[in-house]
Amino acid sequence: MKIPKKVKILDNYFKIKLKNRIIEEAAEAYGSTSYFDKHEISLQKDQPNIKNTLLHEIIHAIEKTQGLKLEEKQVFFLANYLRTVMLDNPELIEIFKGG
């Protein structure tokens, strides 16, 4: 699986960097998002759910750039449920792509 080097979120491009370790306040952080001084999503390379973590960090980027105040638990569930919906309904991806 190839992780893209950047992702466009609204009008901003966020670089995606794979790192050996993510240093965050949370003890078990697999990703982090920077949205003030630089637009960057960092993901821990060796982790069991990198796809979920990427979607989780994209939701954080949307949340922060739009001034939303989601709790970590809300971001966690949104990422997991959105990914599940996409996996369970692949035809939705085609609809969104314009197919």
Quote the pTM value. Answer: 0.89
Helices 72-88, 50-65: crossing angle, 10 deg rounding: 120
Q: Which has the closest alpha carbon to 47: 27, 31, 25, 26?
A: 31
- Specify the pLDDT at position 89: 95
The tens-digit pLDDT sequence of the chain (99 residues) is 789 999 999 899 999 999 988 876 566 788 999 988 889 999 999 888 999 999 999 999 999 989 999 999 999 999 999 999 999 999 998 898 875
pLDDT at residue 19, rounded to an integer: 92
pLDDT at 29: 83
